[in-house]
Amino acid sequence: MQTQKNFNLKSYNTFGFDVSCKGFISCNTIDQLQGALSYIKQYPQPYLILGGGSNILFSNNFNGIVIHPAMKEICSVKENDEHIWLDVQAGVVWDELVEHCVNNNWFGLENLSYIPGNVGASPVQNIGAYGAEVKDCIEQVNGIFIENNQAFSLSAEACQFAYRQSIFKGELKNKTVITSVVFKLNKTESYNLSYGPIKEQVEKMGKITLPNVRTAIIDIRKSKLPEPEELGNAGSFFKNPVISKEQFATLHEQHSSVPSYPVTHDLIKIPAGWLIEQAGWKGKALGKAAVHNKQALVLVNKGGASGKDMLELAHTIMQDVNNKFGISIEPEVNII
């Protein structure tokens, strides 16, 4: 195990902020990860577990140790006529896993194509897109408790998944490192095409197939979202707010075009991007931090912006949305 001193994190955060950390440890095995956790116990200091950096905003340099889980194995652990179970280590790039599943004709993750980041972060955020959430395919999450360096396994139910939420953002926040996720995937045809323009996009290709669904999802995402290599961003910056049926009725009276998605009998999800656009922020900027001109949910680094610049923009948008609609929106990204 080697600690790299004064390590630049520009390539480890998709905003492309030019920030550094005091020390950086990349762990290619679980033993190395446990060694890194022992090190920060032996020499107490600030630390951060960092995967692909696709859902993080550094507001400044990090004055501590960054531990980077880089384990990248994909193993089949069980299989029957209907399902296959894959144990996927935390350092696997998320979209490479989705591509692997599609190439093997395993169903379940295709709607989550082209989401940036690594597998280890997927259950923390309960990533979702186009009518699917990763919790729908998770059987088990494995990891290590930071306090005692002991391994754990949690069932999907024990992970307390909710919209962009899990136990790893609640009770176990900053207390664990995820080492692998076990996914249960379908071997028989099963599609989720009900959300947005997916079905129409797939039908343009002539036939509904797993590769065509993945291609459609990627095409839709590319048409709306900038590539981080070209324009630094962390994907959706804000969570879509969930409001009561009564609050929605009032909102609908004032804004009849408001899009909505039922969450439960009493709760309605409103697209944060619509709220931001209606508040006049789509395509606008504060200095070098800006709102993307094709998708108001995405904040971008036009080049040379700092984390503080992005935070100032985010807080201004949140205030304007609240003033106009009486609805609070909050960041989906983790702010360090």
Which tokens is 190 given?
């099963």
Rg (CA), the chain: 20
Q: Catalogue the active-site residues.
A: 164, 236, 332
Which tokens is 133 given?
């959430």
The answer to whether the beta carbons of residues 62 and 22 sit under 8 Å apart is yes
The answer to whether the beta carbons of residues 236 and 297 sit under 8 Å apart is yes
CB atoms closer than 10 angstroms to residue 220 = 18
For residue 184, what are the β-bridge partners? 85
SS3 for the chain, per residue?
CCCEEEEECHHHCCCCCCCEEEEEEEECCHHHHHHHHHHHHHCCCCEEECCCCCCEECCCCEEEEEEEECCCCEEEEEECCCEEEEEEECCCEHHHHHHHHHHCCCECCHHHCCCCCEHHHHHHHCCEECCEEHHHCEEEEEEEECCCCCEEEEECHHHCCECCECHHHCCCCCCEEEEEEEEEEECCCCCCCCCCCHHHHHHCCCCCCHHHHHHHHHHHHHHHCCCCCCCEEEEECECCCEEEHHHHHHHHHHCCCCCCEECCCCEEECCHHHHHHHCCCCCCEECCEEECCCCCCEEEECCCCCHHHHHHHHHHHHHHHHHHHCCCCCECCEEC
Residue 229 CA from chain centroid, whole number: 17
First to last CA, the chain: 25
